[in-house]
Amino acid sequence: MKNDEIRILLKRYYNGETTIAEEEQLHSFFSRGDVADEFKADAILFKACTEISKDIPIPEGWEKRLDEKLANKRGTSSKRKERFHFGRISGIAATVLLVVSLGLYEFFRTEKPVFKDTCATPEEAYQEAYKALLLFSTDLNNGLAYVENELSILEY
């Protein structure tokens, strides 16, 4: 096998996307012993997996017990689905109820905010806006000076 093919198979192997035949190809490739330096770590991993799998015996009756457990899971899955659907439906209903309640509260609320003019003349409004913008500008300049000071400290 070429190195590009090995890279592709390894990527698929580590993502859990390989078939048994592809995994056997990788095992046979790494069992040869003469691999490129970039695959040395992978060769050690495959060698360790091969050695470990030889030492682990499969218990007697394991397949039968596994089939029974899977059959039991299949039998209880319908109840689980019913509970899941009930939970999902009740969550949706609670959300709809909350949104409708908030909407009705806002719609029928008796006290509505009323905005009033706070300034008697346009000149007074101009002076108030000027004060607010001056305060904002002063605070912004102070903040920028602080940031510039911190940046100059960090540069040293």
What average pLDDT does range 51-56 have in this prediction?
70
How many beta carbons lie within 10 A of that of residue 125, not counting itself?
13
What average pLDDT does range 95-123 have in this prediction?
83
* Pair of tokens at residue 111: 């006290």
pLDDT of 78 above 60: no
For residues 10 and 26, the answer to whether their CB atoms sit within 8 Å is yes
pLDDT of 3 above 60: yes
Q: What is the pLDDT of residues 131-143, one digit of tens each?
A: 999 999 999 999 9
Pick from 41, 45, 15, 3: nearest CA to 27:
45
- d(Cα 11, Cα 18) in Å, to the nearest integer? 9
- Average per-residue pLDDT in the chain? 82
pLDDT at 68: 83
pLDDT at 133: 96
pLDDT at 53: 67
pLDDT at 82: 60
N- to C-terminal Cα distance for the chain? Answer: 55
